[in-house]
Structure 1
Amino acid sequence: MNSLKFCADILADYGASESEILELLTYNHNVFAPPLLEQLHQPQSESYLATWEQYAKNAATVGAYAALQPHLVQLQFPIMAGISETEEYRAATRKGKSTTQMKTATGLTLFQPEQLQLYIYPTLAGGIPVLVAGNRPDFTSLVQALTRRNEPHPVPDSMGACIVAGYNNWHRVHQYQQQWLLENQDHQGDWAAEFQRLIKRPELYQDRFILLSRGAYSNVTATDLGLDEQTWLELSGKIRLEHECTHYVTRRWFGSMRNNILDEIIADYRGMINAIATYRADWFLHFVGLEAFPTYRQGGRLENYRGEPPLSDGAFKVLQRLVKNAAENLEKFEQEYRHAVRTKPEEMAILMALTTLRLEELASEQGVSLIETAVNDQKKLIFNAHEIETR
């Protein structure tokens, strides 16, 4: 539907003022683009995966940390305030210089490096490398090293995973250089020019991978959900993995991966389907800090997705109501749909359908029927794409 008047009317019914309506219409703007049809039936892993498959193969023998540290340059430096501005760090991370003689390259300290795991996970859009830290401090260190330039910036307790995107892998650059020099022995002086051409092709040197922790999902305890500790830890791992993989799929297929609550609703839906084969609104509300709605629990995940610039207090209050009702509508849809066969095309259709809707639509009184209509539309699209593919 995506009618702004329809969405504005919903926001007004929720008690939003004129200024808050404008804030929320902007915040809830759906930026997902329709996927290319060939992506739906022939998912292709990205070119960097071959290198990471070799890392994973080596990790099976020597351990993930030992396999990765020689190649991921940030793992060769400690977490230290100001290190990202040092000459040595900049030379290593921005120019690919060897760290062998660098005094500051003392290595990233992990409490349990032997517990670090690396594997390739098959998503709907192709494989992606997954790194699982052995404990919370090690996860924090890896996040700081690989996404915060080895600076000791705080990592929220509610953050249990992240996707490292656009990672400049100097190992791949050096591999490319070696191959190019081998094939151009008479023109080795032209490597500088070739490097400038390489920079314009990020698929040849930039990687994506997922970092996961092992703790309770969204910092929610087993007691909160009425589960035993071991069961909840196992389910947390499954939810967290599929959640991050969903972000990866939306980035590849729909061109977007944002810190926005719509992205989180979709990713948590996929995560719960992967873990418990259904969707529970009460679990999701715990995850985002709305389990005692209308009271919001400070420190809940929802505040991580308040937007930039942040929503005003009034708009954030309305957002909480939208999120609660959207989750409940999604649960109602799932209760009606759960008896359907969970084929890959069915899963794809639901994911695609959710990316076509705005949060206001998901939260509306018509939310369940809007989801159903969108799913049926996407099924037709997938079927037509398959028909074209098989002709």
Structure 2
Amino acid sequence: MQDLQDYCKPFSKADAIWPALPLPPDAIELWWRRWLLATAKDNQWQALRAELPQLLVTPQPLARLSDRYQRLVLRGESPQPKDLEVAPRLRDPKGFSITIANHPCGAKPVLSVSDHDDFVLIMRCLAHRCEPIPVQGTVHAQAVAGLIHWGLIRELDVKDRCQILILHRAPYSSLSASSIPGSPSLDQWIKQSQIWRLEHELAHIACRKLVGEMRINLFDELLADAIGMKTALGHFQAELFRQGLGLNLDGTIQDDARAHLYVQQLDPNDHVAACQMVLARANELEQMLNTKQLPSDSIKLLKSLTRSTLDQALKSNVKTPNTSRLSNKKPC
């Protein structure tokens, strides 16, 4: 359990010098690009399960200890006819797709589904080692790292692990289209939501790459939502951020809010204080973007924000003019 001071600490490498971006593609990215070129779209789900056999195991308590999980996932054995027969199935196979999302910190494979039950299934198989962990209805995306991926193991190196994004096509954070500036249609809002969701998750991954951490806390959510919302909608709005997190104006958390996830490691006595801080930072962020005190470019904005902390006012990128040379000037 964290106290508030520890929760608000800077990123571990907040002052690190960033590499030249964009980064060149690595072997894992190239593997995925080759795989997509070689795999027919209508066969992606079946082919993916050969590389990520976690998707062949029905989520249940202690599934990772089962013979099937041990054989398929840990030892990489070929599935038997019985394994394929009892493997979980998608409710909406046509709503499943795999794409590559480009990013300056490296492209990532993205699994997208239209059915929420399919999202929950894939989440449980990949993110929770086939355990039937509850998934909040307001959660529609997850970045998963460290996956056993037998295609990478066989072709590259036994140490190579898979990182993948899982997205559910749905309104971002279950926000209604009527709450979005410009009142988009539902279809338009879902498309915007996918952009927001994708850029949000890529921002988290960029934080791990560039400042050493991908944390589950409120400040990281503000950073990721700032990038995602700006990319999807063209601007950042603090009120929309508040609604998406499920916070009341006084910083208390609504019952079904996403925010519960981001304070679960924080002392409960500090929940409201942390939420009030993130609302204050969000208001500062909106104002500073509108007055051009922060850069609009996503990577430059991320770099600026990762040098701030939850408990301190955001730092401006605008340098004040040096007037020292005028201080001794005699009046005319």
State the TM-score, normalizing by the size of structure 2. 0.87
Task: Give the Cα–Cα distance (whole angstroms) in 2 for the partners of residues 103 and 239 of structure 1.
Answer: 37
Contact 2:252 2:275 survives alignment (8 Å) = no
Q: Does 1:208 align with 2:159?
A: no
Alignment match, 1:359: 310
Could you say what secondary structure the match of 1:257 adopts? coil
Bigger share in helix: 1
The yes-or-no answer on 1:94 pairing with 2:49 is no
Instruction: Name the residue aligned to 1:283.
Output: 240
Question: Corresponding residue for 1:312?
Answer: 268
Unpaired runs of 5+ in structure 2? 321-332
Change (3 A) 1:105 1:144: farther
Task: Return the alpha-carbon distance in structure 2 between the equivalents of residues 105 and 174 of structure 1.
Answer: 25
Structure 1 gap ranges (5+): 1-21, 177-197, 378-391
Give the 3-state SS of the residue equivalent to 1:211 in structure 2.
strand
Q: Distance in 1 between matches of 2:250 and 2:290?
A: 22
- Residue correspondence of structure 1 range 209-224 to structure 2 within 5 A: 209-224=164-179
Q: Given the superposition, is the C-alpha separation of residues 128 and 351 from structure 1 closer, same or farther in structure 2, using an over 3 Å criterion? A: same
TM-score by length of 1: 0.74
Match of 2:290 in 1: 335
Which aligned pairs between 1:1-391 and structure 2 lie closer than 5 A? Answer: 23-34=3-14, 37=17, 39-100=19-80, 103=83, 106-176=86-156, 202=159, 205-225=160-180, 227=183, 228-308=185-265, 310-313=266-269, 315-337=270-292, 346-362=297-313, 367=314, 370-372=315-317
Would you say the 8 A contact 2:22–2:106 is kept in 1? no
Cα displacement (A) at 1:209: 1.1
Q: Deviations over 1:270-296 (max 9, x none)?
A: 001111111000110001112543553
| Distance change >3 Å, CA 88–CA 253, structure 1 → 2 | same
Greater Cα offset, 159-168 or 224-233: 224-233
Aligned-residue offset at 1:105: 6.7
Deviation at 1:90, TM superposition (A): 1.6
Bigger drift between 244-253 and 66-75 goes to: 66-75
Deviation at 1:349, TM superposition (A): 2.1
- Most deviating of 74-83 and 123-132: 74-83
Contact kept, 8 Å, 1:76 with 1:105, in 2: the verdict is: no
Q: Is the 8 A contact 1:165 1:209 kept in 2?
A: yes
**What's the counterpart of residue 381 of structure 1?**
none
Q: How many pairs are equivalent?
A: 317
Would the aligned equivalents of 2:293 and 2:317 in 1 still touch at CA under 8 Å? no
Deviation (angstroms), 1:140 = 0.7
Aligned residue for 2:142, secondary structure, equals strand
| Structure-1 separation of matches of 2:263 and 2:4 | 10
Structure 1 residues 64 and 292: CA distance shift in structure 2, 3 A: farther
**Identical-pair percentage:** 23
Query: Match of 1:347, as an amino acid?
Result: S
Secondary structure in 1 matching 2:291: helix
